Structure 1
Amino acid sequence: MTQREVQQVVSAPERAERTQGHGERAPATRRPRLGRVIAVLAVLVVGGVGAAVTWPRSEAPIVSAKENPPAPVDPNAAAEPCAPEDLDMGLAADRTTVTPGVRVGFTVSLRNEGEVQCLVDASRHNLAVTVYEGEVGEPTAERAWSSADCASEEERLLLLGPGDVDVTDVSWSDSRSVPGCEPGQPKLSAGQYTAQVTLAGAEGAASEVVQLTYTVPEPSRSPSPSGSPSASSSGKASADPSASPDPSASPDPSGDADKKP
């Protein structure tokens, strides 16, 4: 029922009273009008409650579970060099037992743990894998090989955003090396070795240590002298008296072989 219809229902008794003249109103006419008003109000209240119950409710907004998403990286924005404490470096080897002539493959990872983007020079000369004979950090450890020794000094600048990871591969051919890549280095000896990746210019930025075991196979035994063909032939020659020349058959060095006694 609209508001206009309600007003018409309420005002209908008043219009009827106006047409009766100017006499006094009968007391009986007030009760029906009051009853109609109460009935109309009851209908409005019930209708409002029904409308509130049946009216479709809007769905609750979906709240994203991800809080503080990282800002997108702007390559044109100025960036500072990565701080050592914001870099997480990792090193993994495809084998832990090394033998002569078998290459070892290293996987190097570099991750920005900071909240802002930063620059880092991840060239092979700066981001280097170093192998030590012995335990890294010990006074007795000897530097055996490094991927920076024979690498070029060309820069490899990386703009790492928050959470970005750079992955590269390094191969070691089980040989020794020195800075400047001077050839003719001595061979490795069997024993325990360790490997670690570090970043030049970033003190404290280093990976966990990888343990390696270098084994050298024992040389095979040579065959016994008695089994060699040359030894058997020489033995036969020394055993056969006919093989040696007869001293009586040799010519007389004085030239008197034809003289009679």
Structure 2
Amino acid sequence: MIVAVAVLLLAPLTRYIPKASLAGLLLVTAFRLIDFERIRYALRASRYDAGLVLITALSALVIGVEFAILVGVAVSIVLFVPRAAKLKATELFVSPERVVRERLPSDPECTSVAVYDLEGELFFGAALELDRHFETINAQVEARGIRHVVLRLKRVRNPDVVCIEKLEHFLRESQSNGRIILLAGLRPELLAALVKLQFSDWYPPERFFPEEDERYSATLRAVRYAYSLIANANTCAHCAQHSVEPIPVREDDRLYYLV
């Protein structure tokens, strides 16, 4: 309000202010806007942040301050998509101690049940990566003659139609090859999308294991269900020891798996 009143009353007098003094005032004001400690912090954090700072600063000098912000936002989006599209797939292993963990090179290969974990953003940018992981899973289980696969989806986020379609193709192909895929750890948003797309019309609903607040995790329930399907036909020396659960003496003594 003070500036508005000053402009109205003193506007004719501003013509007498030397431009050199206005330039100096602008330089001092701009210098105070620069947070050097914040810039040093961003430059040291990562190459990603350092690149954004340098590109935005150069844009301000070459193009203009008003467009530099838009350039910085656009570049950050372009650089973010490849980073977010990294989808990790890990094979899990049921150890002799009944712990479901990441498989080590020294662990024996199971020939009855395979457990895989997917982690990352399940959006269109990760579609190619998801396809590669599904091809790898198919090749591994086919080479080992496995017909029961547990796919853990607890750590995937923000599913969209592109990746859901990839999942549908994977399930249909596996079903046509006589392979049983159990989807474990389904989050509410992914489960809701599968229901809306009527997956249960062509895929048995008992193969879906949503992540719920229960005593045992969805991964545990899926693994136990896979062993129950194999039953006495389990020829794998490693996992045959897990296929039958001993009758506990007390409820507190029943330790089955740690996932």
Q: TM-score scaled by structure 2?
A: 0.19
User: Could you say which structure has the larger radius of gyration?
Assistant: 1
**Higher-helix-fraction structure:** 2
**Higher-strand-fraction structure:** 1
Structure number with higher relative contact order (C-alpha < 8 Å, ≥ 6 residues apart): 1
Q: TM-score scaled by structure 1?
A: 0.19
